[in-house]
Structure 1
Amino acid sequence: MKAVIQNQFGDANVLQCLEIEKPSIQKGEVLIKVAYTSVNYADIKKRVGNKGKGKFPMMLGLDCAGVIEEVAGDSSFSKGDRVIAFPKSGTYAEYVIANEDLVYKIPDSLSFEQAAAMPTVSILSYILLHEIGQVKATDTIVIHSGAGGVGSMLIQLAKLARVSKIIATVGDIRKKDYCINLGADIVCTYETFTDEVLSLTNQQGANIIFDSMAGEVTTKSMECLALYGTLVQFGNSSGKAGIFQTSDVHSSCRNVKGFSLGTTRQYDPKRLKPVAEKVIDLFGKGEIELPIAKIFPLERAQEAHLFMEGRQYEGKILIKI
């Protein structure tokens, strides 16, 4: 089968499309013939890696959409089932293996393109909004990186939840219309959002801020977080750690919550199934959708990574297998 493999850390050139052996399943696993996989920022981070700390050969990819090719023993799945999944060892391949706890059936009404765009960003966003952030209709919220995959999903889910005021931030203000069309009320840049949030809230600040950037954005977020507000931290795409002091939280009764979908997949996978079913239903009914920025064939995975690193896209980047 064809697969994109890397044997060292580095730039996009380390990704090589090769012929490798099709994997074999064990009990509790399924073999999936992949239709599409998505590119996530976590793929970029893993590709670049920590020199001296890697197990090669390595395959990237967090999620996929496809068809069950083979099951092992007694299984709730059958050959031919259309599914999304979080496979074991990457998704940039024609066939992948996934633990049954991390595989979810999808309806015929849901295209493989939309299905492949949704697993990581939609399940993560739903948990961030409703379980970690616990948003209320009366809240004012800030969604950083509003034009990215998670940002696109958070804006739509917040709109469905009738959140009072949705403020999105972007690196390039030319992405403003994109965020507005998804449901954002206000769009501003990382340079101006602190002042704008305070101005829009009569200096009270936002109730909940969703931060995937870290670094300086975290510091600026604390400057416009309301009393009793919550900073939800779930990434560091800036490449730098976010820093705050204990005095930033205890006297103001504010709190910081962290969440990782990767950690949850590893240690508490069953927690994801009811959320997956909810978002699959929303996608199947057409209540939410994810704009597709661009689709690359498997052989051009290098270009897909360069496209993501350019940060000039809106929505999700897919790889067609």
Structure 2
Amino acid sequence: MRAVQITEFGGPEVVAVREVPEPRPGAGQILIDVARCGVNFADTLLRENAYIAAAALPLVPGGEVVGRTADGRRLAAMIENGGYAEKAVIPEDRAFPVPEEIDDVAAVALLAQGLTAWWLINHTGHVRPGESVVVHAAAGGVGSLAVQLAKMSGAGRVIATAGTPEKRELALSLGADAAVDPAAEDLTAALCEANNGEHVDVVLEMTGGRVTDQSIAALAPFGRLAFYGMASLVEPEKVSPRALQRRSATVSGFWLMNAFARPETLRKAYAELTAQVAAGELRVIHGGDYPMSEVRRVHEDLRGRRTTGKLVLDPSR
């Protein structure tokens, strides 16, 4: 079968479409014909062996897929790897049924991005009605969904950040009350100004470096910052426990892989998200449906911050 295989770590040039053996399902696994596989920023880190979890070569990347079984069941699933391929093996206990009214891009977007946004709003960030919420990278896969879910949860004010005027306009169209350029010299002041001069209650952050540091400084008493990625690859400054104590603030981390220890919660979340999309209450931003043969361009566009919404590969092309 055709698949994208990495045989050495490096830049976009190391991802290539090759003929590889078809995977064979074992106990508790299901083989599916992949309709679409998701592309995530984490894939570009995995390609460089810079992700949270170390990788072994050779490797077929891709952690999220939607497709059909031989008997016609339509399933979506998160997998460790192997998604950039015509066929993939998925664990039965991590397979989510997909309603027919949900398109393939949405079905994939509601996996890593949708489940992460849902968990950040409902668990890690504990967003309460009336609270202010900052969503960094608000035009991206997680951010675009988190803006909407924050509003649906009753947030009093949602403040989006995005790097271009077009991306900030997109965030506003999704329901954000204000949009801020994260490159502002004093991001702390910009976030507070966007919150009518007040410090903020919740920050969903995946950039790292100064964005994390200045976002922590923008937290109100009892504020929470949920850290779920580091797209800049720059570590934030050391967080001072005494500084957090003075404001009773919380800085926490989230990685979706840990949530799979609670499969019932994730099944509930995925069913809730697909129902909201089907009802027209939640909008998935289609960021690009690429042929698998153009996988290098996808990685280049993603790392170059030239994308919005959800990116997918079509293994049939």
- 2:238 matched to 1:246? no
Which residue of structure 2 lines up, in the alignment, with residue 74 of structure 1? Answer: none
Alignment of 1:55-204 (within 5 A): 55-69=56-70, 79-192=71-184, 193-201=187-195, 203-204=197-198
Give the distance between the partners of 1:150 and 1:30, measured in 2 at CA.
27
Give the distance between the partners of 2:270 and 2:57, measured in 1 at CA.
31
Change (3 A) 1:50 1:254: closer
Does 278-287 or 250-259 show the bigger shift? 278-287
Which residue of structure 1 lines up, in the alignment, with residue 257 of structure 2? Answer: 262
Give the distance between the partners of 2:123 and 2:55, measured in 1 at CA.
33
Counterpart amino acid of residue 38 in structure 2: S
Residues 64-90 of structure 1, C-alpha deviation per residue, up to 9 Å, x if partnerless? 111123xxxxxxxxx211111112432
Secondary structure, aligned partner of 2:38: strand
Counterpart amino acid of residue 256 in structure 2: L
Which residue of structure 1 lines up, in the alignment, with residue 291 of structure 2? Answer: 297
Alignment of 1:10-89 (within 5 A): 10-50=10-50, 54-69=55-70, 79-89=71-81
Counterpart amino acid of residue 292 in structure 2: L
Aligned-residue offset at 1:286 = 2.4
Aligned-residue offset at 1:183 = 0.8
- 2:4 matched to 1:4? yes
- 2:271 matched to 1:277? yes
Does 202-211 or 247-256 show the bigger shift? 202-211
The answer to whether the 8 Å contact 1:33/1:68 transfers is yes
Aligned-residue offset at 1:46 = 0.3
Aligned-residue offset at 1:131 = 1.2
Which residue of structure 2 lines up, in the alignment, with residue 76 of structure 1? Answer: none
Secondary structure, aligned partner of 2:160: strand
Give the distance between the partners of 2:24 and 2:107, measured in 1 at CA.
24
Fraction of identical pairs, as percent: 27
Give the distance between the partners of 2:55 and 2:191, measured in 1 at CA.
42
TM-score where L is the length of structure 1: 0.92
Aligned-residue offset at 1:32 = 1.1
The answer to whether the 8 Å contact 2:46/2:55 transfers is no
Which residue of structure 1 lines up, in the alignment, with residue 225 of structure 2? Answer: 231
Gaps of 5+ in 2: none
Does 21-30 or 242-251 show the bigger shift? 242-251
- 2:302 matched to 1:308? yes
Give the distance between the partners of 2:175 and 2:308, measured in 1 at CA.
14
Aligned-residue offset at 1:256 = 1.0
Give the distance between the partners of 1:149 and 1:200, measured in 2 at CA.
23
Computed over aligned residues only, the root mean square deviation of the Cα atoms, in angstroms, reads 1.7
Secondary structure, aligned partner of 2:148: helix
The answer to whether the 8 Å contact 2:118/2:149 transfers is yes
Secondary structure, aligned partner of 2:116: helix
The number of aligned residues is 310
TM-score where L is the length of structure 2: 0.93
Does 136-145 or 156-165 show the bigger shift? 156-165
The answer to whether the 8 Å contact 2:110/2:270 transfers is no
Give the distance between the partners of 1:252 and 1:112, measured in 2 at CA.
44
Give the distance between the partners of 2:183 and 2:303, measured in 1 at CA.
20
Residues 96-121 of structure 1, C-alpha deviation per residue, up to 9 Å, x if partnerless? 11111111001111111221222110
The answer to whether the 8 Å contact 2:180/2:194 transfers is no
